[in-house]
Structure 1
Amino acid sequence: MLTAEGKTLLDKLRPVLLEHKGRITVEGHTDNQPIATAQFPSNWELSTARASIVTRHLIGLGVAANRVTPAGRRRHPTPRRQRHPPGSRQNRRVGIVLYTE
């Protein structure tokens, strides 16, 4: 689920993303806590789902579908130490990478 805060941020990025002519990769990340549910058998499925949700929203904003690729990155790279809850929360994120031609 995309949060209201996430939607607002993506909406603000819309002009930049529409102006950008290169490829865009949407990278979903997770923390290092293993997951094993019916919906998400592993962190890879969870990270891919996060990326897919954001990708769908970007396409809904008018970004060309053939320029956007979702990618599940699981828990890497890790910007924050995983031992502390704030660091783990920050690793549960989505990043947008813009490529130039």
Structure 2
Amino acid sequence: MLEETFLLAAVGHPVRLQALVLFERTPSSARELGELVGLSPSAALYHVRKLADAGLVEPHEIRRRRAFEERVWRTTTNGWGKLERLLRAAVPPGQRV
């Protein structure tokens, strides 16, 4: 039960579900996720780390960006886009997922 609770907490935030959908489609960095969802790179990285702690994403590659390295993430499983579509279909109009 603890593992299921941990998993639900990991995907329970809208940004994290968006991250899973993005990383499933195209491995991306926390910076790119932040640009997509309107968060700072550090705030986006916080959510990515929660997903990594749950084993839902993993590093794919490391890119060199000027004076630092940027980690690119991908999902460890598939089906996140389908889950997002199912959740959106279940939500009454006017409410957010």
* TM-based fold match above 0.5: no
- Structure (1/2) with the larger strand percentage: 2
**TM-score of the aligned structures, taking structure 1 as reference length:** 0.29
Q: Which has the higher contact order (CA 8 A, sep 6+)?
A: 1
